[in-house]
Structure 1
C-alpha cells in the first residue's frame, strides 16, 4: 500500500503498479552512494593488488598494509568526530585531537615510507600514494553517506 511519501510508477503492464520510495530530505542519491562504495573498493583493491604483486619483502608489505588500515580507521574516526561536533553531539577534546593526530600520523607514515623506499620505482610510489588517498577519501564519503541515510530515515 502506498503512503504519502511514495511515488506510484506505472510499469506498462495492465493492473500492475510499482511503488518507488521517494528519497528523504538529506539522504544521498543511490548513484552517489554507489560511486562512493565503488571508489572505496577500487582504491583498496588496487592498493592491495599492488602490494601483493610488489617485489618488496614481506615485512615491508605488512608495513604498507598496516598503514592503509590505520589510515582508513583514522579517516572514518575523524569524520565522525567532526560531524558529531558540528551537530552538537558531545565529543571530548582528547578524542577529537587523537582523531586528527591519527590521520596525520597515517599520512606521514605513508609519505615517509614511500620517500625512503629504495626498492620501489617512482611510478609505483605514485600508484600507492594515489590509491591510498582515494581509499581515505572514499572511506570518509561512505561513512558520511551511511550517517546521512540513517539521519534522513530517523527524521521521516
Structure 2
C-alpha cells in the first residue's frame, strides 16, 4: 500500500486559461459577430429593421458581459448592487425576447431565422468566454 497525501486545497486564484481556449473564444466571438453583421448587410430588409437587429445584438453582448462580471464578482465576494445585477439579467432576457419576437414576426425564411438565432447565441456565449479570459488573465498566480 502506497500512501498518497490528500490533494492540495484548490487555489483561491483562478487558473489561467490556455492559449487554445483564449483563441477559440476570440474566434467564436469574431465569427458570430461578423456572420451576424454580414447577414444584416446583405439582408433584404429596411434600414430600420437592420438597425433593430444590430441594436439587439449590441444590447445582448453588453448584457451578457455585465451579467458574467456581476455573477463572478459576487462569487468572489466583491459587492455587487442588486439593482445592477437585476438590470444585467433583464438586459440579457430582453435582448433574447426582442430577437425571438423580431424573428417570429419577420418575413424571413426559416433557415434565415435560424442563422440569426445561432449567430446571436454564439456571439453572446463567446462574449462571456472572452470576458472570463480577460478577467482570468488579470490574475497572475
> TM-score, normalization: structure 2?
0.89
Task: Give CA-to-partner distance per residue, 1:90-124, whole Å, 9 cap, x none.
Answer: 00111111110110000100000000002x11100
CA distance in 1, matches of 2:132, 2:38: 26
Which of the pair has the greater relative contact order for Cα pairs under 8 Å at 6+ separation? 2
Aligned to 2:44: 55
Q: Secondary structure at the match of 1:79?
A: helix
* Residue ranges of structure 1 left out of the alignment (5+ in a row): 1-23
Aligned to 1:80: 69
> Would you say 1:32 and 2:24 are equivalent positions?
no
Aligned to 2:138: 150
* Residue ranges of structure 2 left out of the alignment (5+ in a row): 1-12
Structural RMSD (CA): 1.1
Match of 1:125 among 96, 113, 124: 113
The number of residues matched between the two structures is: 129
> Would you say 1:113 and 2:99 are equivalent positions?
no
Q: Which has the larger strand fraction?
A: 1
Aligned to 1:91: 80
Larger Rg: 1
> TM-score, normalization: structure 1?
0.81
CA distance in 1, matches of 2:31, 2:120: 11
